[in-house]
Structure 1
Amino acid sequence: MRCFEIVTDEDTITNASFPAGARPGATGLGHLVLASPKLDELRELYESVLEFRLTDYRAPGLYFLRCNATHHSIALAHAETPSIHHLEIEHGSIDDVGRAHDRARANGVPISISLGRHMNDKAISFYVRNPSGFHLEIGCGGIEVTDGWVPHDFGVSDVWGHHHAEANPFASPAS
């Protein structure tokens, strides 16, 4: 099994908005969502060459893949233009996500997708649009899966929340 990992030394992370002795709750890269008009080729690369496994999907054209026990490390979507839809930073608790949400609002950072819980991985998160134009998702609580997991179409994208400030490019009639 091939996989990639981004690691940071937590001792080097500082943030003036945290009280003395407290640490930011980011635990690492959660996942990345890539969009492409060449979705079949992208799936072939990740599933056949890099040996990621399909966790689940949502018709039409949205696939969630994993390289470890995390529900998904990458998601692949069909789009007319190649792009990064979002990058998720995994936090250790809902309180960490809540504090990040408060900091974003206090600093005038527009929330591009409101706080909510995803249907497929059960993560709680919110999104901001970063200066490069794609979303940054701040989340926690995503489930882990085993090798016995059976991929399935999970239907709707969210249990609650995740209201989009702009049109959702991956919306389906069931959403």
Structure 2
Amino acid sequence: MPSAAWRSRCGRMGRAERRPVSWSKSAMIKIRRLGHATLSTPDIEGQVDYYTRVLGLSLIERTAERAFLATKQGLEAIELVKGEPGRLTRLSFQITPGSDPAAVAKELEQAGLKCEVRHGISPGIAQAVSFEDPKGTRVDLFAEYTFAKSDPQPAMFNIVKLGHVAYRVRDVQKLVQFYCDLFGFRISDWRGDHFVFMRCNTDHHTLNFVIDEKPALHHIALEVLDWSEIHKAVDYLAKNGIHLVWGPGRHIIGHNIATYHRNADKVRVELFCEMDQMKDEALGYFDPRPWHQEFPLRPKRHGPETLRNYWGYGSERVIPGYQTDEVPTYGAKK
């Protein structure tokens, strides 16, 4: 178990209400939002079809080596590169606009990271500082972003952004300390000592890390506007032969309404809305909502009694397709 001092510095909360911590004010570089995730696939064309035709993202760049997809509003969300199926190879974050890449790289090098300034990261990112995080993922920090041209072509439902990324790691505490101390992340919640939810802005979580002996991507999450979009999405997924592995349901940790499915690369994809928001860090609690179980709702550690689904169904310990790579089928028995 980490020391009490370390838990305090990283904002880890118990069941009792605590005053908000201020350690993040001294973070070297403040991450403001999640950018795009780079996923490898042996079938770029097939995945482009899935992300555009099924999920409604826009293809904004296609070369022999990669494809870039963005929301209809112009936020880049997914980069596809050739490789093994379902691997998260890179992750990008936006830092404070106006930050000097050379100065950022120097600060990170002083903290012991090997960095390089890269160019031509994406259609919207001309320059970024690149390094490897403790789990081995390449990270690109960019200060300036140019929105892709808005796409007027309608989709069956509308994704507004890449909301968060979750990853299986051997040492959760190491990743927490890394992103807290260097980049100003805050702890929103823990499930036991093995699953952490971390925020870099008002959203309840942007990064999740869960203990696992085999490091791998856990899931990516795409935010939609509201519950009606979830309704349209699950109908359209089913029409395209894609069955859910969990949901719809409302998580207790984060309180987002969510569904999960797997694509052809076995990547678990969450579609969500209504995530908890902490719009004032000084207050130290999430904006009150009718579905909260306590008021005020502050960061805490959740015990084993905390359900995955506030509505009940889908809270069992092992859910086929969710914890495993099994994809459910529901064909009629002959």
Which TM bucket (shorter chain)?
A: 0.7 to 0.9
Q: Give the C-alpha shift of residue 11 in structure 1.
A: 2.4
The question of whether the paired residues in 2 share the 8 Å contact of 1:115 and 1:162 is answered with no
Q: Which moved more, 1:95-104 or 1:108-117?
A: 108-117
What are the residue-to-residue correspondences of 1:47-126 with 2, within 5 Å? 47-126=180-259
Query: Residues 3 and 162 (structure 1 numbering): CA distance in 2 closer, same or farther, change over 3 Å?
Result: farther
Greater Rg by CA: 2
**Corresponding letter in the other structure for 1:11:** S
Shift of 1:142: 0.7
* Alignment-derived partner of residue 299 in structure 2: 151
Show structure 1 runs of 5+ residues with no match. Answer: 19-23, 170-175
Equivalent position to 1:12, from 151, 161, 164: 151
Deviations 1:126-174 (A, max 9, x none): 10112332310011111101311342023413202446333648xxxxx
Q: Structure 1 residue aligned with 2:269, among 130, 136, 157?
A: 136
1:5 corresponds to which letter in structure 2? L
Greater Cα shift, 32-41 or 76-85: 32-41
Gaps of 5+ in 2: 1-29, 36-74, 77-147, 286-297, 325-334
Q: 3-state DSSP class of the match of 1:5?
A: strand
> Aligned equivalents of 1:10 and 1:154: distance in 2?
42
Compute the RMSD of aligned alpha carbons.
2.1
Q: Which has the higher contact order (CA 8 A, sep 6+)?
A: 1
How many residues get paired? Answer: 163
Distance in 2 (CA, whole Å) between partners of 1:2 and 1:52 is: 8
Tell me: CA distance 1:13–1:114, structure 2 relative to 1, closer, same or farther (3 Å). farther
Equivalent position amino acid for 1:28 in 2: K
Give the equivalent residue in structure 1 for 2:330. Answer: none
Which residue identity lines up with residue 222 of structure 2 in the other structure? Answer: I
Contact in 1 for aligned 2:245/2:322 (Cα 8 Å)? no
Percent of residue pairs identical: 23
Q: What letter is aligned with 1:34?
A: Y
Following TM superposition, by how much is the alpha carbon of 1:32 offset from its aligned partner in structure 2, in angstroms? 0.8
